[in-house]
Chains A and B, each alone.
Chain A
Amino acid sequence: MFKQSKLVSALAVAGFALFAQVAHAQVIKIDGSSTVYPITEAVAEDFQKAKKNAIKVTVGISGTGGGFKKFCRDETDISNASRPITSKEMADCKAAGVDYVEMPIAYDALTVVINPKNTFLKQATVEELKKLWEPAAQGVVMKWNQVNPAWPDAPVKLFGAGADSGTFEYFTEAIVGKAKSSRGDYTASEDDNVLVQGVSRDVNAIGYFGYAYYAENMSRLKGLPIVNPKTGKAVEPSGANVENGTYVPLSRPIFIYVKAKSLQKPEVKEFIEFYMKNADKLIREVKYVPLPKVAYEGNLKHAKDGKIGTVFGGHNEVGITVEEILKREAKM
């Protein structure tokens, strides 16, 4: 039985290898996070136009984890990731002989949003948000005054990311202190537009999602300033505050991982150069927050020098700055 299926597949591969080769020539394959997708899509679009379609680029959305699965199976050239590679994924890549260069490309800020008619919430601390979102709050913390006595005796309506998204993972890690640990009795959706609508229709609502969705819907929502745990000052969610590093802990760098072997190919090298040169402009256009210029220059240098591996050692870190990422030693 086993032998037979091997034979069939061998025949099929032989039969299709011929034209498969022609069809896949000069295609840069990218897959991964939906958070990074708008940026890579914008770069891919302009790159193809600049090259008059001589080089083809495809971008898929499999999620960060799904993207790494394909990447470490040697199926894609570049992987979009909204978090650093995990130790398990590092092992998979190593087993398949896939070396990669890690490149931070932008900041993604999570925004805690409330209804514009909400008058009592001016700011919130991480502790207050934790009280509201931790697993122990499930079925217990149902009113605003249970979190802070100064707040009114009104029901809390919670909206948040679905459990499969990188946003959920990062929010829980930054606020509750442990990734994927959250109360479950809230309106969860992978589609952020659902959350936008929910919060914009209920005075007592509070929700969180990526900054880009807040930026597009500022007329319907109010971004809640978050107290920076180090300085004790409330910081508004805004591009400027993310860039100057004061909007913590809810901002994080997002990445692309480029296969070292693909970087040998001239079209991928050109694509990465185009990516880093146009990143600042395109990232602003799709409402993300670009990194300082040195980061893009650093990425190009790392690509040239072949600095392979990750600087995170397989786990995520809350509140790390880009300067720190660039300085650190990378490991496979």
Chain B
Amino acid sequence: MQPMTTEQIRALIARGKLKDTLFQAIGILCLGIGLLVIFLLVGDMLMRGMERLNIEFFTEFASRRASQSGILSAWVGTLLVMLVTAAAAVPLGVAAGIYLEEYAKRNWVTDIIEINITNLAAVPSIVYGLLALGIFVYTFGFGQSILSAGLTLALLILPIVIVATREAIRSIPAMIREGSMAVGATRWQTCRYHIIPYAMPGILTGVIIGLARAIGETAPIITIGALTFIAFLPPAPFAPTGMDGATAGMFDWVMSPFTVMPIQIFNWTSRPDPAFEVNAAAAGFVLMGMVLSMNAVAIWLRYRMRKNIKW
């Protein structure tokens, strides 16, 4: 084999660099398409919904008159359902993830559990809705309430939270675990003082991704029977109920009927009067805003927590 001349080597490097630039260009193009789509979507909704985006839109209930219609019951419902979802999915999902990573023995039972969790993440959401209709709404008698909806969506995002927890735990170097055990810590102490704090940023990201998926879900919520017209809010804790001076209990709101943003949007797009489409666009923009701000909070939390990790 002949040794390459300087020219040949230069040409080879140039070819390599050309491919490098080409790939970079393709990468930027792909990214650009994704960004363009989201900007167009959000921009289009904002343009069409602009005229309805004012304070009243957030403080008024839905109405048959498009111009007086607001999303009060929808955004309150969405927030409360998300609260129940997070309260149920986070402890369950994180505990399951920790158990699988730190405690479970590697055998065929764990393997089957793992495969099932991965598959659960791909089950269509309507199936969760049907399951919840049978179990939460009828067997447990929770009815068409915020509690039923929150638990349904919690089931839906549970696999996402478990997988995220496990990924986060796996990224912690083994030496941390070994060091902790070497100085005599039990498994629980290792988890409590090392594994969980270090995995927290990753877990949080998973939780937020899960919640962001849940917030836009319509199918399972419709299946369990969320309402489309509801012009009152769930009772606030200890608020007077209006009858003989009684006050609402601490958790009365979880049993209250409700509606959520995606259902309100769906309802508005199917009305005969085109004026409702403006409302739907405005509500869509608000929902996008909710998802984006949830993601922003996640990024901020992750940044703060990472700063506190000292390895």
Contacts and interface: CB of A to CB of B under 8 A. Distances in A.
Contacts of B269: 191, 193
A22 B241 contact: yes
A16 B228 CA distance: 24
- Interface centre among A8, A41, A60, A212, by most B CB within 10 Å? A60
Given A54-B242, A215-B272, A216-B274, A20 B229 contact: no
A123 interface: no
A77 to B, nearest CB: 13
A5 interface: yes
Nearest to A47: B231
A269 interface: no
Interface stretch (A24-32, A81-89, A98-106): A24-32
Interface residues of A, number: 50
A204 interface: no
Nearest to B61: A45
Interface string B188-231: 00000000000000000000000000000000000001111111
B242 A9 contact: no
A44 B231 contact: yes
B142 A19 contact: no
A235 interface: no
A217 B232 contact: no
Interface in B254-269: 254-257, 267, 269
Contacts of B251: 19
Query: Which of A23, A48, A287: most chain B Cβ within 10 A?
Result: A23
A210 to B, nearest CB: 8
A163 B121 CA distance: 31
Interface in B130-148: 139-143, 145, 147
Given A23-B252, A23-B255, A62-B225, A12 B232 contact: no
Contacts of B145: 20, 23
B140 A45 contact: no
A56 B248 contact: no
A12 B140 contact: yes
Specify the main secondary structure of chain A where it touches its partner.
Answer: helix
Contacts of A19: 249, 251-252, 254-255
Interface residues of B, number: 39
B131 to A, nearest CB: 14
Given A19-B249, A193-B269, A58 B141 contact: no
B246 interface: yes
Contact of B64 (A27, A58, A61, A285): A285
Interface string A231-262: 00000000000000000000000000000000
A37 B228 contact: yes
B274 to A, nearest CB: 7
Contacts of A61: 228, 267
A42 B68 CA distance: 13
25 contacts: A8-B139, A8-B140, A19-B249, A19-B254, A20-B255, A22-B249, A23-B235, A23-B253, A29-B257, A41-B64, A41-B228, A45-B64, A45-B231, A54-B242, A58-B229, A58-B257, A59-B229, A60-B228, A62-B225, A191-B269, A193-B272, A213-B272, A217-B272, A285-B64, A286-B64
